[in-house]
Amino acid sequence: MDTIFLQEIIIKMERIKLTGWTILVLEFIYGSTKLAPKLNQLRTLNEGTVGKEIANLLDNFSYRLIPKFENHDLKHVILEYEMTMKDEIRMQAYLVGNGNYTLPCLVFLTLGLFYPTVWLDLPKEYKIGKSSKSIHYLTLDNCMDKDLLETRNEYGRKKTTTTSRQL
């Protein structure tokens, strides 16, 4: 067997461990290389920009931009949610509070039923999202070269309450 093929399988298995089956399914449906040029462009941006932070985040996890989901990665960076299933569910509660009632958002939020350790966080994240500036129409294309801290200050979640994971 080709060693590159084996390495790709190992990387995919690690993704399954961290994010479940979702990334593999999305890559299968939408492709995994269509946005490679855009990710390369993000890598060339200056440190401290939104785009560079997205590239760094994806590279740290050996992820790629997935078509139709590149704005999802943007939300992780702006809202400062980690790329774990529990933070994914917390982020969906925030996004519903922020006015995002899309099917993918609602589906991921319902996965919270299987993670009782996040149950107490969900109403808090919802309320924070409800009181924050809408991030729904923010796109990677219109903010990749913007200053990360300024963008977080404008659109990021305002962490005014203590969540159970901080205790």
What are the extents of the domains in the chain?
A: 3-152
Question: Is residue 61 over pLDDT 50?
Answer: yes
DSSP letter, residue 117: G
How far apart (Å, rounded) are the C-alpha atoms in residues 100 and 82?
19
Among candidates 108, 151, 135, 141, which has minimal Cα distance to 35?
Answer: 141
Mean of all residue pLDDT scores within the chain: 83
Question: Is residue 164 over pLDDT 60?
Answer: no
Rg (CA), the chain: 16
Question: Is residue 119 over pLDDT 80?
Answer: yes
For the ranges 25-29, 95-99, 110-114, the one whose mean pLDDT is highest: 95-99
Confidence (pTM)? 0.76
Percent of the chain with pLDDT over 70: 75
How far apart (Å, rounded) are the C-alpha atoms in residues 8 and 44?
25
